[in-house]
């Protein structure tokens, strides 16, 4: 973006804005319009432009007016609850009563684990809030982990036809990854420990411009789970298939692919269950999932028989991860511009001092999952039709390549319009359908609430529930029963 | 629009929207577009022929204000219907493009205010595959980031930035569309650009 002048357009920004996609109309748009106009003409007697006295067209200059509502009683209570002890009590009060249910097998609050990967920037200030000014471009990863080397291709329909891309990816159980696309060259490297991602794309024969993104969201609903390069290797699709395989085994088949046990979902989508993009509606899915890693080995989404999006894994091999293999190449002298996405890492014991209330922590998680990250976002702009949210606390859990997140958010900003009620945070703002089932919760902070549970293709298995001024989501590599049990085990975290 | 639908539309005399055509970099195309006259008032086909000249830039604006294709289509149905109803009183003081933009902006605001809904980040930005033909200086991720950052702007700033920077209107013309003085347009554009820079991490 170039420096703007006082008047006139910012031409660089304008060029980038004009490169954003513009969807076509639906197929029957002009037929529908023609019908409405014809009806209008018949009703008005086909008025003539000429021969009528001219008049000024009064177009209302309506501008958005803030909708102000008195704060709800619950919100007033939260606002007043500034003392830590009061905050804990308030949290329990507004969420519905701190009824802690201990189930057999409860393991208490999972403990954080250390990532096996270290980010060795030239200086060690990367976990400081002001680190954006301190990072250098030479930030090699040092890793002794074993990971997966994955070669895959994607094909996607576009207005210019099918676009095919080939990728080499390396992922680790700690969540680090490196992604390389050969043509046009694109590199991405992600440090799970620091939620920092670097992206570089070749600029012809010159050096690769690099950007850095910090404080990335730990997972859905605020971002894709960062266990793999999900944007390219849509792991959410695979997670849904695994959950469906547990819930409705008759819908899937099992077999082998590349010598690996796989589960396959290959079925048409019910009307309204797909999503529409441009003029295409995805109406059939074929998703083959590696049972050991949960990675999709084959994804094929079609629209009326035509390819919409395809992912094909050519090879997947366990491999030691050499430090250099996770290093994004960048010229040493370049300091990449850094962008914070707002999800600051905060120790679990410090969340209450940041947000004013104790975080909700599950007292139960499936065997093997451990807490690996906690972030707080003070405020997030709205996406979709949901209101803006603040004090978004995300807890991320990992078990090898499996992940899930528990997120709580206040549903309205401190000032301004109150929320109008929420829609499914996992799909609102996308063209994906909302096909959740109401499920009553028993136990924990959410006792008596009705959760909405979604296990269906194209979306992470997820649960969301409104509780006064909070929206709680659980999403990731979980089955329906696990989602519900995690939600029912939520209790306020107590500082050790 | 699918190829088959496009052929069908062409057979009916309707040109399919040109989604790949670039937006005008200044408002000359908009201001020099066809003007309504007595031949199209009350003539649906003539009116549709006229508005199709402006349809793509209007789609680009409305889509970014409303956030989904469905809402874009719904809003533009109302825009065109309101314009059709208003044709008999149209004096031609404003270019027809500016006039349609103003109707479109007002309908968007009405709809957003009515439903209290906030704009959405379009799915195609989220699922976006890097375009091999794009400027290699642009990072693939930045396009989605830009769309997201844009969607995070208040609607008045977003509209001002889009009209001035993407659609090429000067402040006076943008002010006609938004119903505010040119100075207000300028301040909204400045605030919007600054917010985009902060969101994208671009040095100011």
Buried b (16+ CB within 10 A) or exposed e, A3-39: ebeeeebbeebbbbbbbbbbbbbbbebbeebbebbee
Asked whether the predicted pLDDT for residue A255 surpasses 70, the reply is yes
Instruction: Give the CA count within 13 Å in the CB-facing half-sphere of A148.
Output: 22
What is d(CA A195, CA A492) in angstroms, rounded to the nearest whole number?
25
pLDDT score recorded for residue A22: 84
Query: What are the residues whose beta carbons fall under 8 Å from the beta carbon of B67, sequence distance 6 or more?
Result: A384, A429, B118, B119, B120, B121, B122, B151
Q: Predicted confidence band at A30 (pLDDT cuts at 50, 70, 90)?
A: confident
DSSP codes joined into one string, A93-152: HHHT--B--PPTT---SPPP---SEEE--SSS-TTSTTGGGT--S---EEE--EEEEEEE
Contact yes or no for B123 and A32 at CB 8 A: no
pLDDT score recorded for residue A123: 24
Reported as a single tens digit per residue, the pLDDT across A288-322 is 999 988 999 999 989 889 888 899 999 998 887 76
* A 55-94 residues inside an 8 A Cβ radius of B: 55-57, 59-65, 67
- In the DSSP assignment, the letter for residue A349 is G
Q: What is the pLDDT of residue A342?
A: 82
Q: List C-alpha distances in Å: A5 to A10, A11, A243, A411, B168.
A: 7, 10, 54, 38, 14
Q: Which residues of A109-121 are buried (b: 16+ CB within 10 A; e: fewer)?
A: bbeeeebbbbbeb
Q: For residue A124, is pLDDT > 50?
A: no
- Partner residue facing A337 (CB), from B138, B146, B203: B203
B199 has a chain A CB within 8 A of its CB: yes
- State which of A50-54, A123-127, A266-270, A338-342 shows the largest mean pLDDT: A266-270
For A82-106, the DSSP string reads -SHHHHHHHHHHHHT--B--PPTT-
pLDDT, greater one: B90 or A468: A468
Nearest chain B Cα distance for residue A286, angstroms? 18
CB-based contact A160:A175 (threshold 8 Å): no
Minimal C-alpha gap between A454 and chain B (Å): 19
First-residue to last-residue Cα distance in chain A = 48
| CB-based contact B130 A186, cutoff 8 Å | yes
As beta bridge partners, residue A392 has A377
More confident residue, B160 or A380: B160
The nearest alpha carbon in chain A to B147 belongs to: A20
The candidate with the shortest Cα–Cα distance to B150, out of A413, A381, A9, is A381
At A280, the pLDDT band (50, 70, 90 cuts) reads low
- A422-456 residues labelled b (16+ CB within 10 A) or e (exposed): bbbbbbbbbbbbebbeebebebbbbbebebbbbbb
For residue A144, the model assigns a pLDDT of 53
Q: Note the pLDDT of residue B51.
A: 84
Averaged pLDDT, A431-438? 83
A312 CA: distance to closest CA in chain B (Å) = 15
Q: How confident is the model at residue A225, as a pLDDT?
A: 60
* More confident site: A295 or A432: A295
A to B CB pairs, distance under 8 Å: 288
- Of A318-332, A468-482, B179-193, the least confident: A318-332
In chain B, the residue whose alpha carbon lies closest to the alpha carbon of A188 is B141
Among A426, A83, A459, which residue's Cα sits nearest to residue A241?
A459
A167 has which bridge partners?
A: A152, A181
Question: Chain B: nearest CA to A493, how far in angstroms?
Answer: 32
- State the DSSP H helix or E strand holding residue B98, giving kind and residue range, or none if neither: helix B96-115
Instruction: Please compute, for residue A299, the number of CA atoms within 13 A of its CA located in the half-sphere on the CB side.
Output: 27
Whole-number pLDDT of residue B180? 85
The answer, yes or no, to whether residue A473 has pLDDT greater than 90, is yes
pLDDT value for A120: 27
pLDDT (tens digit per residue) in A134-164: 222 223 334 456 888 899 998 877 666 788 8
Alpha-carbon distance A365 to A107, whole Å?
A: 8
Measured distance CA(A332)–CA(B122) in Å, rounded: 36
- CB B46, CB B14: distance < 8 Å: no
Greatest mean pLDDT among A188-197, A220-229, A396-405 lies in: A396-405
**pLDDT tens by residue, chain B, 204 residues:** 333 333 333 333 333 333 333 344 333 334 345 555 545 566 788 888 888 888 888 999 999 998 888 889 888 988 888 888 777 656 554 566 788 888 899 888 877 776 543 333 333 332 333 333 233 223 333 445 788 788 888 888 999 999 999 888 888 889 888 888 888 899 999 999 988 888 776 654
Cα(B41)–Cα(B23) distance, integer angstroms: 27
- The nearest CA of chain B is from the CA of A221 a distance in Å of 13
- Give the integer Cα–Cα distance in Å for A208 and A197: 15
Tokens of A104: 């057999």
Residue A77 confidence (pLDDT) above 60: no
Measure the CA–CA gap between A285 and A265, rounded to whole angstroms: 7
Judged by CB atoms closer than 8 Å, whether chains meet at A204 and B20 is answered as no
| Max mean pLDDT range (A18-27, A144-153, A210-219, B187-196) | B187-196
Q: What is the 3-state secondary structure (H, E, C) of A446-472?
A: CCCCEEEEECCCCCCCEEEEEECCEEE
Of A104, A26, A37, residue with least CA distance to A279: A26
The DSSP symbol for B21 reads: S
Return the structure tokens found at A50.
Answer: 């000429």
Least confident of A31-40, A388-397, A483-492: A31-40
Contact A412, A61 (CB under 8 A): no
Name the 3-class secondary structure at A309.
Answer: strand
Q: Count CB-CB contacts under 10 A for residue A170.
A: 21
Q: How many CA atoms lie within 13 A of A224 on its CB side?
A: 19
- Which residue of chain A is at minimal alpha-carbon distance from B201? A339
Of the candidates A272, A296, A292, A291, the residue with the CA atom closest to the CA atom of residue A282: A272
Distance CA(A407)–CA(A6), nearest Å, equals 42
Chain B contact set for A13 (CB, 8 A): 161, 165-166, 193, 196
B203 in A contact zone (CB under 8 Å): yes
| pLDDT reported for residue B122 | 35
Poorest-pLDDT segment among A205-209, A224-228, A239-243: A205-209
How close, in Å, is residue B32 to chain A by CA atoms?
A: 20
CA-to-CA separations, A181 to A168, A228, A301, A308, B148, in angstroms, rounded = 6, 15, 22, 20, 24
Provide, rounded to the nearest whole percent, the portion of chain A with pLDDT above 70.
62
Tokens linked to A117: 């990967």
Residue that wins the pLDDT comparison between A425 and A137: A425
Q: How confident is the model at residue A463 (pLDDT cuts 50, 70, 90)?
A: very high
B11 touches chain A (CB under 8 A): no
Greatest CA separation for chain B = 52
Chain B neighbors of A27, CB-CB under 8 A: 1-2, 5
**CB-CB: which of A33, A60, A211 is closest to B139?**
A211
Higher pLDDT, A130 or A467: A467
Specify which residues A389 forms β-bridges with.
Answer: A380
Cα–Cα distance, B163 to B168 (Å, whole number): 6
CA distance A402 to A294: 7
Highest mean pLDDT among A165-179, A410-424, B25-39: A165-179
- The pLDDT of residue A407: 96
Using left for φ > 0, alpha for ψ between -120 and 50, and beta otherwise, residue A254 falls in beta
The confidence score (pLDDT) of residue A216 equals 83
ipTM metric: 0.74
Average pLDDT over residues A446-460: 93
Structure tokens at B48: 């549709």
Model confidence at A365, pLDDT cuts 50, 70, 90, reads very high
């Amino acid at each position: 973006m170039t420096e703007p002048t006082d008047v006139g357009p910012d031409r660089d920004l304008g060029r980038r804005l004009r490169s954003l996609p513009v969807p076509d109309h639906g197929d029957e748009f002009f037929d529908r319009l023609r019908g409405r106009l014809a009806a209008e003409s018949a009703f008005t007697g086909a008025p003539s432009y000429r021969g009528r006295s001219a008049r000024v067209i009064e177009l209302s200059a309506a501008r958005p007016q803030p909708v102000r509502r008195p704060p709800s009683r619950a919100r007033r209570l939260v606002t007043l609850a500034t003392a830590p002890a009061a905050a804990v009590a308030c949290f329990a009060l507004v969420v519905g009563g701190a009824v802690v249910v201990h189930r057999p097998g409860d393991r208490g609050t999972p403990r954080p684990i250390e990532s096996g990967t270290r980010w060795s920037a030239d200086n060690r200030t990367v976990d400081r809030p002001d680190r954006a000014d301190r990072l250098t471009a030479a930030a090699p990863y040092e890793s002794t982990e074993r990971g997966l080397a994955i070669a895959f291709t994607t094909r996607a329909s576009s207005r210019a036809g099918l676009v095919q891309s080939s990728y080499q990816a390396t992922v680790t159980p700690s969540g680090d990854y490196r992604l390389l696309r050969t043509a046009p060259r694109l590199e991405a490297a992600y440090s799970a420990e620091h939620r920092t991602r670097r992206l570089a794309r070749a600029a012809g024969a010159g050096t690769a411009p690099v950007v850095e993104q910090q404080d990335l969201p730990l997972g859905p609903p605020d971002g894709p789970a960062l266990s793999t390069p999900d944007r390219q290797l849509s792991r959410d699709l695979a997670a849904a298939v695994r959950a469906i395989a547990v819930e409705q085994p008759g819908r899937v088949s099992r077999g082998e692919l590349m010598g690996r046990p796989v589960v396959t979902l290959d079925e048409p989508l019910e009307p309204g269950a797909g999503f529409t993009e441009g003029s295409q509606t995805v109406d059939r899915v074929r998703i083959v999932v590696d049972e050991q890693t949960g990675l999709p080995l084959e994804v094929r989404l079609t629209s009326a028989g035509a390819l919409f999006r395809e992912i094909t894994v050519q090879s997947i091999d366990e491999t030691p991860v050499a430090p250099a293999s996770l290093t994004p190449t960048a010229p040493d002298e370049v300091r990449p511009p850094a962008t914070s996405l707002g999800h600051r890492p905060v120790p679990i014991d410090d969340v209450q001092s940041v947000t004013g209330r104790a975080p909700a922590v599950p007292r139960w998680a499936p065997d093997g999952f451990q807490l690996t990250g906690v972030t707080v976002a003070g405020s997030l702009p709205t996406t979709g039709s949901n209101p803006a949210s603040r004090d978004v606390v995300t807890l991320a859990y990992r078990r090898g390549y499996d992940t899930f997140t528990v997120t709580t958010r206040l549903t309205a900003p401190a000032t301004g319009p109150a929320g109008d009620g929420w829609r499914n945070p996992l799909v609102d703002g996308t063209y994906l359908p909302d096909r959740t089932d109401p499920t009553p919760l028993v136990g924990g902070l959410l006792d008596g609430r009705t959760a909405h549970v979604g296990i269906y293709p194209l979306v992470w298995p997820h649960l969301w529930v409104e509780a006064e001024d909070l929206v709680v989501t659980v999403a990731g590599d979980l089955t329906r029963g696990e989602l519900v049990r995690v939600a029912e085990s939520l209790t306020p975290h107590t500082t050790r | 629009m699918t190829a088959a639908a496009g052929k069908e539309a062409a057979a009916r005399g309707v040109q399919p929207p040109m989604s790949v055509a670039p937006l005008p970099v200044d408002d000359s195309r908009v201001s020099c577009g066809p003007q309504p006259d007595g031949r199209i008032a009350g003539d649906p086909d003539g009116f549709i022929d006229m508005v199709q000249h402006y349809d793509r830039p209007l789609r680009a604006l409305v889509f970014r204000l409303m956030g989904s294709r469905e809402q874009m289509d719904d809003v533009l149905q109302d825009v065109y219907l309101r314009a059709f109803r208003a044709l008999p009183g149209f004096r031609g003081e404003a270019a027809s493009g500016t006039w349609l933009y103003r109707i479109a902006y007002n309908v968007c605001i009405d709809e957003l205010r009515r439903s209290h809904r906030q704009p959405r980040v379009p799915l195609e930005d989220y699922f976006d595959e890097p375009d091999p033909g794009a400027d290699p200086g642009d990072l693939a991720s930045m396009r989605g980031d830009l769309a997201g950052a844009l969607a995070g702007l208040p609607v008045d700033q977003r509209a001002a930035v889009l009209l001035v920077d993407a659609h090429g209107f000067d402040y006076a013309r943008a002010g006609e569309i938004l119903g505010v003085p040119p100075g207000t347009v300028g301040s909204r554009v400045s605030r919007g650009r600054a917010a985009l820079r902060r969101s994208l991490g671009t040095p100011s």
